[in-house]
Structure 1
Amino acid sequence: MTATPPGRTRRTALVATTCALAVTGAMVLSGCGGGGDDPDAGTNGVGKLPAARIQAKTRAAADAADAVRLSGSVTTSGRTYRLDMRLKADGGSGSVTSQGTAFKLLRVGEELYLKADAGFWNHADGSDGATGKLDGKYVKVPQGDPAYKKFSGFTDKDVLLDGLLTLHGTLAIDGRHTDQSGTRTIRITGDKGSGGTLDVSLQGQPYPLRLVRGGGAGSLRFSDWGKDFTVEEPAASDTVDYGRQLPTS
């Protein structure tokens, strides 16, 4: 058998190593998107769509989700409400603050309950007569009471999101961003932002993550998409009857 010259062996090994490095480098570049610098590599693909399609996709994802948590502020009819609510199809719960007065809402099916401290009821009642009875208790809101229509919307996922997740005016894309939780997002705007802005997740489902409403009408963050939680009626010992029309202001 003829022995291979040492020089040829070294050259052969060098060529093989160089080829292996080249192949590995190409694979790394391809896997990271470095070969073409594809900004949509590793995303859910909505970044390739026009703004109107992105809005439609995010609305569909939000509607299909079983649950969501939203927090922030909403201004309507000249009044600002600060919300921290968890919502799902058959109910919702959380807190609402308006004009320095805070109260909690709980909806189980069609039954709505309001819970507040003495300050809320003193303001609503104009006296302290109801304070001892209602302070820290759940008050069942009759469905025929004007307060039911006003407050139940804060606990209804479909109603609340339908009223919020709409940008007004001409839709456009305003680039890519990183959400505070580290999620990559794409931002769409209505009339260059005057009609609102919406940050949509580029990872996983295209859920809305942050909304700034047009006209300074508040901003909201959305989280815990699809994360279930329990809503149940409060104990009878923790529930009282207000005995008159509830306040809506």
Structure 2
Amino acid sequence: MTAIPQGRTRRATLVGAMCALAVTGTVTLTGCSEDPDAGTNGVGKLPADKIQSRTRTAAESATAVHLSGTVVTSGRTYKLDMRLKSDGGSGEVTAEGTTFRLLRTGEQLFLKADAEFWHPEHAKGDDSDDTAAADKLDGKYVKVPQGDPSYKKFSGFTDKDVLLDGLLTLHGTLETDGHHEESGTRTIRLAGDKGSGGTLDVSLEGKPYPLRLVRAGSAGTLLFTEWDKDFKIEEPKQDETVDYGKALPTS
């Protein structure tokens, strides 16, 4: 057996260590052969349009997801913290400084908020019947009638398919934008128009789920976690619920 010169061993060790640093982004070197897609699900080697197709398919077929972050639409900023699955969802939405809770199981949608949400004048000492009604709804789950305009507006926040279909969109020419990492998971990044049309980090580990979306035009950033992690959705208890009838009070 031929002995390897000690100097050559040291050089090989040093090169290996330096290449490892290059992969983590600490230094940049040429001549390192580390494959960033080694041990991954392989989507990082695909064209951008095929990666987008794969991640959409993975998201659509998932049984559940936890979505959190901000969405800016029509001049309003919504902070979302929602857990979603095919037959419903639950979580909190914050808009204009007010936080309310949504829960949907099947077609039944419930909304829980404080009195000020239902009647802002409550804070001004208004003693009207509207204020009394708002007090009745304070901290209760209110069953939202399906014919009320609020049903369509709020149920979208609890609909996994509708919400993901509307959010997982990048604008402009689609390209890959390198390998990255999101919360310890290796990703391949998709970019629309070199980032101005939004970016989407797709998992390179396991199924190619979307993990982080930066929307075009500074329209918010969202994180997608707990893919396929099931959770229980139940209608609130009767003593926690108010059925307001065919229409909700104007908030």
TM-score (norm: length of structure 1): 0.83
Identity of aligned residues (%): 70
Give the Cα separation in 2 of the matches to 1:124 and 1:130. Answer: 12
Instruction: Count residues in correspondence.
Output: 226
- Residue type of the alignment partner of 1:128: T
The Cα shift of 1:118 comes to: 2.0
Structure 2 letter corresponding to 1:106: L
Distance, in Å, in 2 between the alignment partners of 1:140 and 1:216 is 34
1:108-156 deviation per Cα after TM superposition (whole angstroms, max 9, x unaligned): 0000000011221222888522233111111000101000000000000
Residue in structure 1 matching 2:64, options 64, 67, 76:
67
Which residues of structure 2 form unaligned runs of 5+? 21-30
Distance in 1 between residues matched to 2:42 and 2:226, nearest whole Å: 21
Match of 2:229 in 1: 227
The reply on whether 1:50 has 2:50 as its aligned counterpart is no
TM-score (norm 2): 0.82
Which aligned pairs between 1:135-146 and structure 2 lie closer than 5 A? 135-146=138-149
Q: Which amino acid aligns with 1:175?
A: G
Q: Secondary structure of the residue that 1:129 maps to in structure 2?
A: helix
How many angstroms does 1:168 deviate by? 1.0
Conserved? CA contact 2:119–2:250, under 8 Å: no
2:164 is paired with a residue whose SS is helix
| Alpha carbons of structure 1 residues 118 and 96: separation in structure 2 relative to 1, 3 Å | same
For residues 93-242 of structure 1, what are the structure 2 equivalents within 5 Å? 93-123=90-120, 127-179=130-182, 181-242=183-244
Answer with 1 or 2: which has the greater Rg. 1
| CA distance in 2 between partners of 1:98 and 1:112 (Å) | 19
Deviation at 1:243, TM superposition (A): 4.5
* Residues in 2 aligned to 1:70 and 1:166: alpha-carbon distance in whole angstroms: 15
Residue range with higher mean Cα deviation, 117-126 or 141-150: 117-126
Q: CA distance change for structure 1 residues 247 and 94 in 2, over 3 Å: closer, same or farther?
A: farther
Q: State the secondary structure of the residue aligned to 2:190.
A: strand
Separation (CA, whole Å) in 1 of partners of 2:230 and 2:120: 35
Q: Which runs of 4+ in 1 moved over 6 A?
A: none
Contact 1:147 1:247 (8 Å CA) reproduced: no
Q: Distance in 1 between matches of 2:237 and 2:200?
A: 40
Look up the SS of the partner of 2:131 in the other structure. coil
Name the SS for the 1:163 alignment partner.
Answer: helix
Query: How far 1:234 moved relative to its partner?
Result: 0.9
Distance 1:218 1:248, change over 3 A: farther
8 Å CA contact 1:118, 1:131 repeated in 2: yes
CA distance in 2, matches of 1:234, 1:49: 46
Any idea what SS the aligned residue of 1:203 has?
Answer: coil
Change (3 A) 1:222 1:65: same
Q: What per-residue deviation string (whole Å, max 9, x for no partner) do you get for residues 19-45 of structure 1?
A: xxx9xx9xxx9xx9x994222101111
Helix, strand or coil for the counterpart of 1:130? helix
Deviations 1:53-100 (A, max 9, x none): 111111011011100000011111221111000000011000001000
